[in-house]
């Protein structure tokens, strides 16, 4: 089994409290939403305290072209991604030259050459690094990136894989979009980056310091039919306009219980054997829906709730922040964890983790 060696994260410099966000959004939309006062309740109900953005608050008061937003995405994604990678590698005293495979996930900007190629040059990685850029997986991409990193590491057990997730959700804001989805997004989404270092089994065995690192037991992907309109983007002249269904918490309640049970059964496990739960905190209602459908106690999703409160929803990077927070607390030998995320498709990814990596 491949092993998770470290997680590094990075947030941009502009921090905005939820109270300040609420005032900003009220100024932007008060003349365009007839029921603005009722809609503003989503801000105090979000359970978010602060968020970070790569642009100052006044940026949101002006119109910006898609080209302008994407140019800023290119610069900021490279800067933030490089910072997350450096922090991740520093924890293991490794240099960028040690990386054999770089997986990059993002859905909030477009780049060709892709961001991973640009970062390869910025950090001086080897020219023979395998690059795997993945686009369009949305909030599920952090979990899916871990799963694909595990697949690569199983095929190449002597290698090191680096997963990088960078999302600049703030740059996708369209000032002229007066949809309910856009209004909800202003209370929820934020910017951030995270990097995870994964070692193949043979690499970990040859380096005793990593021999007991948490293992990825396996993963299961699910894409539900006829659900394309639940989450995603409409590509317009103004940029990426958000599609965000109010039915997501209901879909979690209806489908995730069976999905999780089936995923665990593939690995001869049951929900009772899982003691760590790491859901992507898509929002307070989504976290609550996970607890309800899986029958979890309130304290089981503490890490996800704390990440949501401190950072908001950073799309694919968010669940990796939950992972970093969970790994910072001691896992008992053999303890199982379940990392999950949902994204466009409508889809889910379930990743099974185990401390020490020995099946028992």
On whether the CB atoms of residues 169 and 191 are closer than 8 A, the answer is: yes
Residue among 3, 1, 5, 6 at smallest CA distance from 194 = 6
Instruction: Copy the structure tokens of residue 320.
Output: 């990796």
Residue of 78, 92, 139, 169 with catalytic role: 139
Which single residue is written with the structure tokens 């990440």?
A: 307
On whether the CB atoms of residues 172 and 112 are closer than 8 A, the answer is: no
- C-alpha 194/C-alpha 84 separation (Å) is 5
On whether the CB atoms of residues 290 and 256 are closer than 8 A, the answer is: yes
- C-alpha 286/C-alpha 255 separation (Å) is 13
Residue among 232, 160, 136 at smallest CA distance from 6 = 160
On whether the CB atoms of residues 252 and 290 are closer than 8 A, the answer is: yes
- Collapsed DSSP state (helix, strand, coil) of residue 155: helix
On whether the CB atoms of residues 195 and 135 are closer than 8 A, the answer is: no
Active site residue 139: yes
- C-alpha 359/C-alpha 241 separation (Å) is 45
φ, ψ for residue 63, nearest 5 deg: -80, 145
- C-alpha 83/C-alpha 233 separation (Å) is 27
- Active site positions, annotated: 139
């Amino acid at each position: 089994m491949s092993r998770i060696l470290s997680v590094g994260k990075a947030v941009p410099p502009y921090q905005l409290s939820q109270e300040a966000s609420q005032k900003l959004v009220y100024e932007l939309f008060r003349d365009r939403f007839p029921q603005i006062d009722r809609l503003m309740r989503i801000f105090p109900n979000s359970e978010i305290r602060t968020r970070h953005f790569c642009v100052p608050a006044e940026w949101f008061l002006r119109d910006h072209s898609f080209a302008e937003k994407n140019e800023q995405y290119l610069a900021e994604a490279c800067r933030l991604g490089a910072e997350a990678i450096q922090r991740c590698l520093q924890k293991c005293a490794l240099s960028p030259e040690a990386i054999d495979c770089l997986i990059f996930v993002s859905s909030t900007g477009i780049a060709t050459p892709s961001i991973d190629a640009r970062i390869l040059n910025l950090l001086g990685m080897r020219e023979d690094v395998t690059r795997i850029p993945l686009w369009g997986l949305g909030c599920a991409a952090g979990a899916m990136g871990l799963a694909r990193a595990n697949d690569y590491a199983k095929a190449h057990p002597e290698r090191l894989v680096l997963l990088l997730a960078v999302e600049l959700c703030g740059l996708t804001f369209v000032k002229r979009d007066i949809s309910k989805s856009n209004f909800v997004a202003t209370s929820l989404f934020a910017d951030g980056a995270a990097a995870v270092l994964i070692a193949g089994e043979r690499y970990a065995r040859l380096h005793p310091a990593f021999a007991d690192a948490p293992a990825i037991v396996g993963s299961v992907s699910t894409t539900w039919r006829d659900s394309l309109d639940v989450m995603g983007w409409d590509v317009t002249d103004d940029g990426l306009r958000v599609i965000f269904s109010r039915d997501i918490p209901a879909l979690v309640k209806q489908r995730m219980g069976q999905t999780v049970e089936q995923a665990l059964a593939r690995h001869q496990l049951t929900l009772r054997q899982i003691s760590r739960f790491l859901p992507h905190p898509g929002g307070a209602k989504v976290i609550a829906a996970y607890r309800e459908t899986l029958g979890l106690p309130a304290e089981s999703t503490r890490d996800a709730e704390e990440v949501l409160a401190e950072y908001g929803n950073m799309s694919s990077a968010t669940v990796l922040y939950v992972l970093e927070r969970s790994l910072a607390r001691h896992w008992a030998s053999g303890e199982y964890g379940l990392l999950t995320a949902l994204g466009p498709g409508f889809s889910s990814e379930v990743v099974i983790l185990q401390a020490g990596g020995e099946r028992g």
